Amino acid sequence: MSVFTLQSGGKMRAMRRTSRRRTDVRPNIDAGDFKENWPFYWVSQINAAYENALERRLKHLGIDIASWRALMSLYDDGYLSVSEIAQHSAQKLNTTTKVVQRMVKDGLATTRVRPTDRRVTEVSLSEKGEALRRKAFEEVQIIYDFALTGQSQEDIDALNTELSQLHSRLKRL
């Protein structure tokens, strides 16, 4: 399995992980390079840069970040409850509820009662919503291609695995 290190100039390099996992390694806060050695610094920097790029690429389509996340959650899963959309899109339930209400009002989504549990309302993309999602995805694919230029599929898979495992551990806190 690969791990990634950030080299000078912002280039990521995949390195083979040794079989021994170290849990006692912590950045030295007195070393003067704390940020560069703190993974969560890079996660927040990447997230901010990604969201800025998303805003620029999607603005002309009338899509904000919250709507983008809901569109892609629905694309991947078809029918989801508002709570499930909130969970998949990493947004608060009240934000997601407002986004879904706006999407339904704009004809981008439809709702139905969940066949297996009539207490749950499910949301799905309409044809208009799917068309907008396709246009948005073309814009976002540009970000993906640019950001991951030079990375092999193996590197991308390893990065996704590492991030998924980190996410799983953090959710247990």
Residue 142 maps to a domain: yes
**pLDDT score for 78:** 85
**pLDDT score for 153:** 96
**pLDDT score for 6:** 52
Residue 76 maps to a domain: yes
Residue 118's domain comprises 35-147
**pLDDT score for 14:** 55
**3 state DSSP class of 31:** coil
**pLDDT score for 114:** 95
Per-residue pLDDT of the chain (173 residues; tens, 9 = 90+): 455 555 545 555 555 555 556 566 676 667 677 788 888 999 999 999 999 999 999 999 999 999 999 999 999 788 999 999 999 999 999 999 999 999 999 999 999 999 999 999 999 999 999 999 999 999 999 999 999 999 999 999 999 999 999 999 999 99
**pLDDT score for 26:** 72
What is the DSSP track for the chain?
-EEEEEPGGG-EEEEEPPSS--SS----TTSS-TGGG-HHHHHHHHHHHHHHHHHHHHGGGT--HHHHHHHHHHHHHSSEEHHHHHHHHT--HHHHHHHHHHHHHTTSEEEEEETTEEEEEEEEE-HHHHHHHHHHHHHHHHHHHHHTTT--HHHHHHHHHHHHHHHHHHHT-
Do the Cβ atoms of 85 and 104 come closer than 8 Å? no
| CATH code of the domain in which 114 resides | 1.10.10.10
Split into its structural domains, the chain has a count of 1
Residue 87 maps to a domain: yes
Residue 53 maps to a domain: yes
Alpha-carbon dihedral sign for residues 125, 51, 10, 139: positive
Residue 69 sits at the vertex; the CA angle it makes with 67 and 74, to the nearest 5 degrees, is 95
Residue 20 maps to a domain: no
Phi-psi region of 132 (alpha: psi -120 to 50; beta: other; left: phi over 0): alpha
**pTM beyond cutoff 0.95:** no
Residue 55 maps to a domain: yes
**3 state DSSP class of 34:** coil
Residue 100 maps to a domain: yes
Residue 98 maps to a domain: yes
User: At a CB cut-off of 8 Å and minimum separation 6, what does 41 contact?
Assistant: 34, 35
